[in-house]
Chains A and B, each alone.
Chain A
Amino acid sequence: MSDIYIICVEDEPQVLDVVIRDLAKLEEVFPIEIAHSADEARQLISEIKEDGNRIGLAICDHIMPGDKGVDLMIEMQKDPFTEHTRKVLLTGQAGLEETIEAVNKAKLNRYISKPWKPQQILEVAVDELTTYVIEHEKELLPFMAVLDQERIQEAIRSKGYV
């Protein structure tokens, strides 16, 4: 059974620290990996692919040295391996045009503006991962503990497994 990864791309180490901490609860089920730039993220993505695992959620800053977050997300959308990855933009500033681009071209799922509220990232992550597993996993029970139980129960009922 392959793992479903969460990747966080953010150039500010202090921000990355708190994002991981906010998501700690999910790590029991979804391994978290980090990257400080789009380039590091590409390397990370190919490593996850080589290991035969998948990426369920990408949380990405926009303004970083090198390629911008939105560019990375558009790239991920074009790659079949990451096409279905749920994509969240976490940023202190992205112009309207860039955000529109992210929504249209990267099928951006969520936008969180910095600074975020306690629980906000976790709630968004839970929500997006719940959508991901319902769409891509046959066996949903293992995710009940950390994800949205109601939605998963409903999905199980409608899929007729129980």
Chain B
Amino acid sequence: MESRRPEKPKAERHPNVIGESARPIYDKATFVEKIKEMMPDSELMSRLKQTFPEGEFMLRENQENNKLFVILDGYVSQFKEGDDAHTNIGMQGPGDFIGLLSFQTGEPVFTSAKASTKVTTLALDHDSFEVFLTRYPEISKTLQGLIFSNLAERYRKVVTLHVEVAELTKQLEAEKNHLKKTIKELERTRNALISQEKMATLGELTAGLAHEINNPASALLRSVDYLITTLPDMAQRASALPDTGLVRFFFEMGLKREYADTAEQRVRMKELAKKFPYIQRGKLRTMAEMDHDVLERLKPFAEKAEKEEMLQLLLDSYQSGIFMNGIRLSTARIEYLVKSLKSYSRQSGKEPEVADVREGIRETLQILGNRLKDIKVKIDFPEIPPVTCFVGELNQVWTNLIINACDAMNDVGELYLSCGLSEDKNNVWFKVADNGPGVPDKIKNRIFDSSFTTKTASQDFGLGIGLAITQSIVEKHHGTIEVHDRQGGGAEFVVTLPAER
């Protein structure tokens, strides 16, 4: 039976590294032929002949072995048996030896050997080996030579392998560096996308912010203008009085003024107009804003036309208080807005910081105030541990989720924000929910894809990759994001982040 040859001998792979021995002193083929020739006449050889069917193990790793197999026909594969994978060592053919190492050293078998084809061998134990050597001196010289060249070949293979390993290591190192570079580039791209989306949302926010800041700015500027023109005059008029206590009182009441319902105020104004028909409307409006007690103290000056100057002074004083308070409130508003904006859009440093995420959400709400005019925001923020994070990037997450909620509700509805600690206390979760139409089941698993958007180009300033970016940021923070149906209708996004211990 012709035996097939399953694999090329390994030594040929790197012919340039270590050359094949230039002259095979002892030719395997001749050796095998010789044995086969002698076998029919030798009772010893016939007795030592042992065959293995295809697939049978000749040797198993780590087992004892006291035989040396000389392959006469067929091929034997040698391999190391690993936990889950075999490592092929090579294929042995006619004239090669199996079990050489364990036979010579007495150590357990180093590599398993399995017949790849039907295999015929000469199986020598130590006794028969001795007998063999003495009885066939003409072959034994060749046998010893072959054993020696077999060992030499093994040594050559080891050296070749070393060289191969060194080369592979070099290649691997290069691959690793390449991968590192690719990962860095991917990270850069992701960060670029994050900041691009952030700029887009910022663009959208700027319009709203302009309104948020311009309102207090208007109040501030015009109040100051008013005070600049009236204060010097008021001071002069007040200094003529024996006692400025009343002026001060009305100023302080002005500072504390609370805003009344406009319809109610109109009614009061009409009543006052009937009572004091000679007083100008502008003055009546200011009087209509006053508490009952304050108004009582003003009445003595309103009832007589000749006290008009004093009435004017007290009303001016009250009005100045109002404007002063307006300045105070407006300045505080602007200050808070600017602070929020600064912290909201702060560039993330290289290192994350340990932060209270609730603060970031509150700042985001402040920035988005313009979008939330008709939205009832319900906040449930119990104490939670801080999170190691890039605050600016997480704020982008809240912005995207809140803007999405606003879009879903067409800017009218309820927004629910809550947070908490997971049961195992390892994570904190944040929920952004709305009572809009919710996310249909069939798109739930697609909404985080970067190519998926429900928005049309004109509707959205962003790139339509808001949720993809959101997910990417959350993952960068080793967290997860999920979307659910809110109980009672609407969508609920849950962001879970590792808690700082």
0/1 interface trace, chain A 48-83, chain B, CB 8 Å (1 if under): 000000000000001111100000000000000000
Contact A44 to B262, CB < 8 A, known contacts A21-B222, A27-B281, A32-B281? yes
| Residues of the A chain whose Cβ atoms lie less than 8 Å from the Cβ of B220 | 115
Neighbour of A17 across the interface among B217, B219, B266, B373, CB < 8 A: B219
Q: Which of B242-280 contact A (CB under 8 A)?
A: 259, 262-263, 266, 280
Q: How far is the CA of A65 from the CA of B259 in the complex (A)?
A: 17
Of A12, A40, A44, A64, the most chain B CB neighbours within 10 A belong to A12
Stretch in B146-154, B321-329, B492-500 with 4+ CB within 8 Å of A: B321-329
Q: How far is the CA of A78 from the CA of B347 in the complex (A)?
A: 49
| Residues of the B chain whose Cβ atoms lie less than 8 Å from the Cβ of A118 | 222, 225
Q: Is the beta-carbon distance between A12 and B214 smaller than 8 angstroms? A: no
| Residues of the B chain whose Cβ atoms lie less than 8 Å from the Cβ of A13 | 259
Chain A residue with minimal CB distance to B273?
A31
Q: Is the beta-carbon distance between B215 and A114 smaller than 8 angstroms? A: yes
Q: Which of B415-444 contact A (CB under 8 A)?
A: none
Check B120 for interface membership: any CB of A closer than 8 A.
Answer: no
Stretch in B61-69, B106-114, B122-130, B203-211 with 4+ CB within 8 Å of A: B203-211
Q: How far is the CA of A128 from the CA of B259 in the complex (A)?
A: 29
Neighbour of B210 across the interface among A64, A93, A116, CB < 8 A: A93
Q: Is the beta-carbon distance between B282 and A115 smaller than 8 angstroms? A: no
Q: Is the beta-carbon distance between B326 and A14 smaller than 8 angstroms? A: yes
Check B213 for interface membership: any CB of A closer than 8 A.
Answer: yes
Of B216, B262, B266, B330, the most chain A CB neighbours within 10 A belong to B262
Q: Is the beta-carbon distance between B219 and A63 smaller than 8 angstroms? A: no
Q: How far is the CA of A140 from the CA of B280 in the complex (A)?
A: 22
Q: Is the beta-carbon distance between A22 and B222 smaller than 8 angstroms? A: yes
Q: How far is the CA of A40 from the CA of B263 in the complex (A)?
A: 8
| Residues of the A chain whose Cβ atoms lie less than 8 Å from the Cβ of B30 | none
Q: Is the beta-carbon distance between A12 and B225 smaller than 8 angstroms? A: no
Chain B residue with minimal CB distance to A26?
B282
Check A148 for interface membership: any CB of B closer than 8 A.
Answer: no
Q: How far is the CA of A160 from the CA of B197 in the complex (A)?
A: 65
Check B345 for interface membership: any CB of A closer than 8 A.
Answer: no
Nearest CB on B from A29, distance (A): 10
Q: How far is the CA of A66 from the CA of B374 in the complex (A)?
A: 6
Q: Is the beta-carbon distance between B322 and A17 smaller than 8 angstroms? A: yes
Q: Is the beta-carbon distance between B216 and A14 smaller than 8 angstroms? A: yes
Query: Interface size on B (CB < 8 Å)?
Result: 35
Chain B residue with minimal CB distance to A92?
B214
Q: How far is the CA of A92 from the CA of B218 in the complex (A)?
A: 9
Chain B residue with minimal CB distance to A9?
B262
Check A91 for interface membership: any CB of B closer than 8 A.
Answer: yes
| Residues of the A chain whose Cβ atoms lie less than 8 Å from the Cβ of B225 | 118
Q: How far is the CA of A32 from the CA of B269 in the complex (A)?
A: 12
Q: Is the beta-carbon distance between B218 and A65 smaller than 8 angstroms? A: no
| Residues of the B chain whose Cβ atoms lie less than 8 Å from the Cβ of A141 | none
| Residues of the A chain whose Cβ atoms lie less than 8 Å from the Cβ of B217 | 114-115
Check B226 for interface membership: any CB of A closer than 8 A.
Answer: yes
Neighbour of B207 across the interface among A14, A47, A95, CB < 8 A: A95
Check B17 for interface membership: any CB of A closer than 8 A.
Answer: no
Neighbour of B373 across the interface among A18, A63, A114, CB < 8 A: A63
Q: How far is the CA of A135 from the CA of B219 in the complex (A)?
A: 33
Neighbour of B223 across the interface among A14, A36, A64, A116, CB < 8 A: A14
Q: Is the beta-carbon distance between B263 and A93 smaller than 8 angstroms? A: no
Chain A residue with minimal CB distance to B372?
A65
Q: Is the beta-carbon distance between B280 and A14 smaller than 8 angstroms? A: no
Contact A63 to B211, CB < 8 A, known contacts A17-B219, A18-B218? yes
Contact A21 to B211, CB < 8 A, known contacts A32-B281, A114-B217? no
Nearest CB on B from A14, distance (A): 4
Q: Is the beta-carbon distance between B214 and A40 smaller than 8 angstroms? A: no
| Residues of the A chain whose Cβ atoms lie less than 8 Å from the Cβ of B118 | none
Q: How far is the CA of A129 from the CA of B462 in the complex (A)?
A: 43
Contact A15 to B219, CB < 8 A, known contacts A33-B266, A65-B374, A92-B210? yes
Nearest CB on A from B303, distance (A): 22
| Residues of the B chain whose Cβ atoms lie less than 8 Å from the Cβ of A18 | 218-219, 222-223, 226, 323, 326
Check B50 for interface membership: any CB of A closer than 8 A.
Answer: no
Check B338 for interface membership: any CB of A closer than 8 A.
Answer: no
Nearest CB on A from B81, distance (A): 73
Check B370 for interface membership: any CB of A closer than 8 A.
Answer: yes
Q: How far is the CA of A36 from the CA of B259 in the complex (A)?
A: 10
Chain B residue with minimal CB distance to A115?
B218
Check A88 for interface membership: any CB of B closer than 8 A.
Answer: no
Neighbour of B323 across the interface among A17, A22, A32, A113, CB < 8 A: A17
Contacts A/B (CB < 8 Å), 21 sampled:
A14-B215, A15-B218, A17-B219, A17-B322, A18-B219, A18-B222, A18-B326, A27-B281, A32-B282, A35-B262, A36-B259, A63-B211, A92-B210, A92-B213, A93-B207, A93-B208, A93-B210, A95-B207, A114-B211, A115-B218, A116-B218
Query: A: which residues have CB within 8 A of B?
Result: 12-15, 17-22, 24, 27-28, 31-36, 40, 43-44, 47, 62-66, 91-93, 95, 113-116, 118
Query: Top 8 nearest A-B pairs by Cβ distance?
Result: A92-B214, A18-B222, A14-B219, A93-B211, A114-B214, A92-B211, A115-B218, A14-B326
